């Protein structure tokens, strides 16, 4: 009795989860289908598989210069942002990892304030203008460089390293700086990699700061190029490519949009399944109260 009931429940459970799986993946799948279809998926709607696979719209998208400018800028931003952020976080976290560091409690509290209160949009915007960072890459990588959350997680990692390592290095005459760069940082690669991933994804996907702090075409980030194409349907350089595409009809703007979407999320889709567990690990670490 219990067994059959349990079996029915199991079937039900797997059915629900399959539906969940389909619902989460279907939106992405539609873009794959539309971008690859050589028939008319882009015009007529409901298709689970492309009728005839063609890479024409991908070939054309390669001619779309703004996309590659965006790609380049975003890669630069992400690398610079991750580098600065990790360095600053580690430099902040290491002293705080010493429980008997004078003022430790006060500095930590001082940094925690930002969890509760912040300046909001306008004061931050004006600050960037006053500092002369407007329309430079610094406006995108400096604010938010040190996140208290990341500092605390790295601090906890440093604390978990055995003290004996440091003590023996000290006996050998090494100072704190040497210990930090030669011993602590190399041993902390797991947490550094994890945080670099978080920060990196954040920079890759960030768009609002780029929207308000930059305005030159050659400084445009990938997300803003996408925004111009996907959201605003802005016919600039995009329309040139689109005309080329339509010469080979029946391709449409929708197909090119789907192609651009695919090109921009492809790097993420490729690395994501392998890196996903690091993100989740981080959340678990952060979830520990106190």
Partner 1 sequence: MSKTTVLARRPGWNGQPKTGDAKSKRHAFKKYRVLLIMMIPSVLYVIIFNYVPIYGLLIAFEDFQITKGFFGSPWVGLAHFEKAFRDPGFYLVLKNTVLISVYRMVFGFPIPIIFALLLSEVKNVKFKKTVQTASYLPHFISWIILGGIFMSIFSLEGPVNAILGMFGVDPKLFMADTSYFRSILVFTSILAGFGWSSIIYFAAITGIDPHLHEAAVVDGAGRIKRMIYITIPLLMPVISIMLVLSMSGILDAGFDQIFNMYNPQVYDVADIIDTYVYRKGLVEMDYGYATAVGLFKSVIGLILMLTANGLARRIGGGDYTLW
Task: Examine residue 84 and tell whether it contacts partner 1 (CB under 8 A).
Answer: no
Task: Examine residue 101 and tell whether it contacts partner 1 (CB under 8 A).
Answer: yes
Residue whose CB is less far from partner 1, 55 or 272: 272
Task: Examine residue 123 and tell whether it contacts partner 1 (CB under 8 A).
Answer: yes
CB of 160 to partner 1, least distance (A): 18
Residues 116, 117, 122: CA angle, nearest 5 degrees: 150
CB of 107 to partner 1, least distance (A): 7
| Residues within window 33-72 making contact with partner 1, judged by CB under 8 A | 34, 42-46
CB 93 within 8 A of CB 191: no
CB of 35 to partner 1, least distance (A): 11
Task: Examine residue 250 and tell whether it contacts partner 1 (CB under 8 A).
Answer: no
Question: Which range touches partner 1 (CB under 8 A), out of 52-60, 156-164, 186-194, 221-229?
Answer: 221-229
Task: Examine residue 17 and tell whether it contacts partner 1 (CB under 8 A).
Answer: yes
Task: Examine residue 79 and tell whether it contacts partner 1 (CB under 8 A).
Answer: no
Question: Which range touches partner 1 (CB under 8 A), out of 61-69, 110-118, 158-166, 186-194?
Answer: 110-118
Exposure b/e, 34-56, CB count within 10 A at least 16 = b: bbbbbeebbeeeebeebeeebee
Task: Examine residue 270 and tell whether it contacts partner 1 (CB under 8 A).
Answer: no
Task: Examine residue 267 and tell whether it contacts partner 1 (CB under 8 A).
Answer: no
Task: Examine residue 145 and tell whether it contacts partner 1 (CB under 8 A).
Answer: yes
């Amino acid at each position: 009795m219990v067994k059959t009931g349990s079996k029915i429940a199991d079937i039900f459970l797997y059915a629900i989860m399959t539906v969940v799986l389909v619902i989460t993946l279907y939106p992405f799948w539609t873009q794959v289908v539309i971008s690859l279809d050589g028939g008319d998926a882009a015009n007529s709607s409901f298709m689970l598989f492309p009728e005839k696979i063609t890479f024409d719209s991908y070939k054309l998208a390669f001619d779309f210069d703004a996309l590659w400018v965006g790609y380049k800028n975003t890669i630069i931003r992400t690398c610079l942002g991750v580098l600065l952020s990790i360095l600053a976080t580690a430099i902040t976290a290491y002293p705080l990892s010493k429980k008997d560091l004078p003022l430790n409690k006060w500095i930590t509290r001082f940094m925690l304030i930002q969890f509760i209160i912040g300046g909001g949009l306008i004061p931050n915007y004006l600050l960037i203008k006053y500092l002369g960072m407007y329309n430079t890459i610094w406006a995108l990588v400096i604010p938010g460089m040190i996140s208290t959350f990341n500092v605390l997680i790295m601090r906890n990692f440093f604390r978990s390293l055995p003290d004996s390592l440091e003590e023996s290095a000290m006996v050998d005459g090494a100072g704190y700086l040497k210990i930090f760069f030669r011993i602590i940082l190399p041993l902390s690669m797991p947490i550094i990699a994890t945080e670099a991933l978080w920060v990196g994804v954040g920079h890759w996907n960030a768009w609002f700061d780029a929207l308000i702090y930059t305005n030159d075409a050659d400084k445009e980030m990938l997300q803003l190029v996408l925004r111009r194409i996907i959201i605003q349907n802005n016919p600039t350089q995009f329309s040139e490519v689109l005309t080329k595409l339509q010469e080979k009809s029946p391709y449409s703007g929708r197909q090119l949009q789907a192609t651009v979407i695919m090109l921009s999320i492809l790097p993420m889709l490729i690395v994501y399944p392998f890196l996903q567990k690091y993100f989740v690990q981080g959340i678990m670490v952060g979830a520990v109260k106190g």
